[in-house]
Structure 1
Amino acid sequence: MKKLRVIQWTTGKVGKLSMRGILDDPRLELVGVYAYSAEKAGADAGPLCGRPETGVRATTDIDALIALNADTVLYTPFMADLDHAVRLLESGLDVISTNLFLNVGGIQGETRDKLAAACERGNSSLYITGVNPGWINTMVTAMTAVCRDVQKVSIVESADVSVYESAETWQALGMGQPEVTPGVAGLAEFGFTTFAESVQRMALALGFDVDEMEFVVEHQTASERVDLGWFCMEKDTIAAIRGGWNAKVKGKTVIESRVAWYLTDKLNGGWVFDDDHYHVVIAGEPEVQTRIRFVPPEHWGNHEWDTMTAMPAVNAAHNVAAAPAGILTLQDVGLPCAPAGPWESERRNAPIG
């Protein structure tokens, strides 16, 4: 298998873990790093992600990165830059993004049109993924293959999100606010837009002709003051959210996607959270029920949980390279997987001592 030449775009929370994934993957070669801040320009990629020096230096020079004749960009900034993404795609680079482009309207409307046109001009591909939206939608869609009939697909995520130290993210969903105003509810619906897009991608793969998307959301407040060190919620301010989308066909819900996220379990009301990260039900013949729980190794800190966001993008690189040009669907990309065999070979051949 030909090694793909990969550029890592930014080195933040997810980007550091994505870059480790690139360095660990014998199918990939890190050839460039885009630094968002001038302070990181010139720094070696290895120490930027907690690894030994690589000889690859970060830069703010986009033209120099495009000139590297790379194959793929792993795009992981906190805020998307539409002009950057268009330039990369127009240059012929495939872009695999864990950023959902929400700050520029999501992958819809004018933003989608610009990205699709850039893919056409560059004969390149754009794929949006992560753990959710992304990996879980691919997995559950594939699970329906054992069924002779499917009536409804339900995905419910439950997560203690206090491990995700991003005050901006949770403030954007109303956390820390004293009440659910129309503005807070609107922010939540906008923030959950990407889950609507992932449900629509599942519906396309399953052949459902969806005619209505229904948004549902609830908030719950903290029963006491909670200080996480990086974010503080006063007593009786919003500290948890449950919401998502129903895809409907002629009034019947055929796909349901929900998340239950909490910054603390010290809440008013009787909310109960699942210890499993995902509960999946495919109502059909047969009915399929499954639960998924991620069990971290002891050495993981809070930010290591972003590994599950980064790795679906890293592991999709070869699938995206083999896919047609354009904004890719679940069917286009298929089932990305980790290079488990090559990793095992490296372990067997590693020097002892």
Structure 2
Amino acid sequence: MTTLRVIQWTTGKVGKLSLRGILDDPRLELAGVYAYSADKAGVDAGALCGRPDTGILATTDIDALLALDADVVLYTPFMADLDHAVRLLDSGLDVISTNLFLNLGGIQGETREKLAAACARGDSSLFITGINPGWINSMVTAMTAVCRHVETVSIHESADVSVYESAETWQALGFSYPEATPEKIEMSKLWLSTFRDSNERMAAALGYRLDDIEFFIEHATASTEVDLGWLRIEKDTIAAIRAGWNGKVAGKTVVQSNVAWYLTKQLNEDWQFDDDHYHVVIEGEPEVRTRIRFVPPDTWGNHEWDTMTAMPAVNAALEVVAAPAGISTLKDVGLVCAPAGVWLDH
């Protein structure tokens, strides 16, 4: 069995869970851990993710990590550092990232050029994944294989986002504010560009060349005061959004990626939310409709939901290492799945 040596890059909300995934996968060997903050430097990797000690201590020393002769990096920081990413790819390390480089404007323009050039120099690959963009896009595009004709592919995500305790994230999108100012809408457009990326991934896999990707957003306000413990939402302030992107060819929408997110269902507006996390519609011959609902175990706390962001990255390690150099597409990486048989044997 092939064993890959893996570096975990940061141990925040997602990184802690991907670190657990590395330790739990017999195909993977933890080589090192990058500590974003100095207070984690010198701490055992196991202690950082709720596992027994591993003998591997987190470090802020990038040179030491590059000298470990690892194969791949699980890159999960809250804010991307382009210099770090370029340095990793330059060194020949493949990088699997749950971070979409949004603080740098996303994987486009100069950022994309620098990352692609680093992949070329290092003969390395960069794959961006997670739950969405990532896993859901692979699932949905694969569903079109039963069709003789496809008109539109749509992903509708519905979620109670109060399980993600990050006040700064939701306030950036306008939550808890009395109205959506132009500045908040522009910030929302940036943060929600992840779903623009989702459309672009599906379009590339399906062979579409998009002429335009149209953004839309609407807001709903709370009908009563709601105190989540980590964020207070006053009555008549924003408590839910519906937003997304329509990817178009010749003026016709061919791919859609929409979200309906709420911190409370107690709204002034008569919005209805789907209890299923994903509602997928492929209009074509035949039409394909499917719903996906994640059912967590009773042991999960709020942050355990990030498992579904972390595990598509962990489980993609072997496929990404085998992929051609460059910024990987869905087709470059192919079918990623859990190593269930390996887990069973161990």
The answer to whether TM tops 0.5 is yes
Partner residue in 2 for 1:86: 86
CA drift of 1:194 comes to: 1.8
TM-score (norm 2): 0.99
Partner residue in 1 for 2:302: 302
Q: Identity rate of aligned residues, in percent?
A: 76
Partner residue in 1 for 2:18: 18
Partner residue in 1 for 2:110: 110
CA drift of 1:157 comes to: 0.3
Report the number of matched residues.
Answer: 346
Residues 132-190 of structure 1 show CA distances to partners (whole Å, capped at 9, x for unaligned) of 11100010001101111111101000000000011111111111111011111111111
Query: 1:240 and 2:276 equivalent?
Result: no
3-state DSSP class of the match of 2:332?
Answer: helix
CA drift of 1:306 comes to: 0.3
Distance 2:235 2:75 in 1: 38
Residues 108-155 of structure 1 show CA distances to partners (whole Å, capped at 9, x for unaligned) of 001101111111111101000100111000100011011111111010
CA drift of 1:193 comes to: 1.1
Residues 250-269 of structure 1 show CA distances to partners (whole Å, capped at 9, x for unaligned) of 11111111011111111111
Distance 1:327 1:209 in 2: 18
Supply the AA of the counterpart residue of 1:221: T
TM-score (norm 1): 0.97
CA drift of 1:198 comes to: 1.7
Structure 1 spans left out of the alignment, 5+ residues: 347-353
Supply the AA of the counterpart residue of 1:11: T
Partner residue in 2 for 1:66: 66
Supply the AA of the counterpart residue of 2:32: G
Residues 204-246 of structure 1 show CA distances to partners (whole Å, capped at 9, x for unaligned) of 1101121111111111111111111111111111111111100
3-state DSSP class of the match of 1:132?
Answer: helix
Partner residue in 1 for 2:281: 281
Partner residue in 1 for 2:39: 39
Partner residue in 2 for 1:75: 75
Query: 1:333 and 2:333 equivalent?
Result: yes
Q: How does 1:44-193 map to 2 (within 5 A)?
A: 44-193=44-193
Supply the AA of the counterpart residue of 1:111: T
Cα RMSD, aligned residues only: 0.7
Partner residue in 1 for 2:259: 259
Query: 1:269 and 2:269 equivalent?
Result: yes
Partner residue in 1 for 2:322: 322
3-state DSSP class of the match of 2:131?
Answer: coil
Residues 292-340 of structure 1 show CA distances to partners (whole Å, capped at 9, x for unaligned) of 0000001000000000000000000011001000000011011111110
Supply the AA of the counterpart residue of 1:232: R
Distance 1:94 1:166 in 2: 30
3-state DSSP class of the match of 2:258?
Answer: strand
Structure 1 residue runs of 4 or more that deviate by more than 2 Å after TM superposition = none
Distance 2:169 2:122 in 1: 33
Supply the AA of the counterpart residue of 1:309: T
Supply the AA of the counterpart residue of 1:222: A
Distance 2:123 2:198 in 1: 24
Supply the AA of the counterpart residue of 1:280: V
Distance 1:330 1:267 in 2: 38
Distance 1:197 1:294 in 2: 23
Supply the AA of the counterpart residue of 1:260: A
Supply the AA of the counterpart residue of 1:146: V
Partner residue in 2 for 1:204: 204
Distance 2:335 2:134 in 1: 11
- Which shifted more, 186-195 or 112-121? 186-195
Distance 1:183 1:121 in 2: 39
3-state DSSP class of the match of 2:133?
Answer: coil
3-state DSSP class of the match of 1:257?
Answer: strand
